[in-house]
Homo-oligomer: A and B are copies of this chain.
């Protein structure tokens, strides 16, 4: 009852006593096929339940109408949002999206790049692993002139199209905000420095301190994967000794939120005793009490820019003149909420 179902354009051709080329052209709305024939063909296609075989077309055309996307994990707010945008946008252009997660594992990333190449995706969009510092596994795409775009977590010293947030300004702005609210001893909890965007945020943090004549102390910066567990642990370290900091700039919202929980536990009041800023403007920052100040990265805008850039690369693929790389920076915006409300009194410390 099943099996022998798959109809092809050959079946349509036979049924209609036409050549396969005519059928193919008719289905693709080629201009020099008569309207009458097109109509007949399409009718018959519907009648037979014909479904185009994208593999065959892809093989012949050397393009799959498919884009690959590699992100660390789709369960995180920022990549999830961007993936959604990219997918929906791409759908409008008639492209499929293969979403893959590297789980922040370099080896997995390498493997994914290879299978996506094998799948002959027409383009690859990547936000790298925290630990990717060697980018040679992307060479296949560069060498074969297949559109390749990095976003958010982007490579350093690897000529390629890049769309990233303004992480330096983000770090600077977040820190300045804390300073303006009276903080004098600001801890920064950063991701690992193998990932460029954290380097920039740290740099922004440092320069903001210096611009306001505050000392930059190495011991006040912590580098770690920004997970819930790590956040809790670093809190235990930070609050094991006095003086407590009066401000914390965390490089993601999970960390910021976890710090708040810890503070509640040890009776440090936010924002009275300690002010906190997170990063990404994850919706969770709004539902938590007090709501957390965070740095919005305009994920929707970034996603749209990624697709726009991708489409541009795809259409200009032929012209060898088109620039292969460039950097585009998406702005950030600080969203002030209750976790940084009020002003620290010069002295006031401890409940």
Contact = CB atoms under 8 A, between A and B. Distances in A.
Interface of A: 2-3, 5-6, 49, 51-56, 58-59, 64, 66, 73-75, 77, 80-81, 83-84, 87-88, 91, 96-101, 103, 108, 111, 114-120, 140, 143-145, 257, 261, 284, 287-289
Nearest to A282: B284
A84 B88 contact: no
22 contacts: A2-B143, A2-B145, A6-B144, A51-B118, A54-B118, A55-B58, A55-B64, A66-B98, A74-B80, A74-B83, A74-B87, A75-B77, A75-B81, A84-B101, A87-B101, A91-B108, A91-B111, A98-B98, A98-B99, A284-B284, A284-B287, A289-B289
Given A55-B59, A75-B80, A144-B6, A115 B100 contact: no
Given A75-B77, A87-B101, 11 more contacts: A5-B144, A51-B118, A53-B118, A54-B120, A55-B59, A83-B99, A88-B101, A91-B111, A96-B98, A96-B100, A97-B98
- CB-based closest 4 A-B pairs: A2-B145, A99-B99, A54-B118, A55-B58
Contacts of A144: 2-3, 5-6
A60 to B, nearest CB: 9
Nearest to A2: B145
Contacts of A91: 108, 111
Nearest to A81: B75
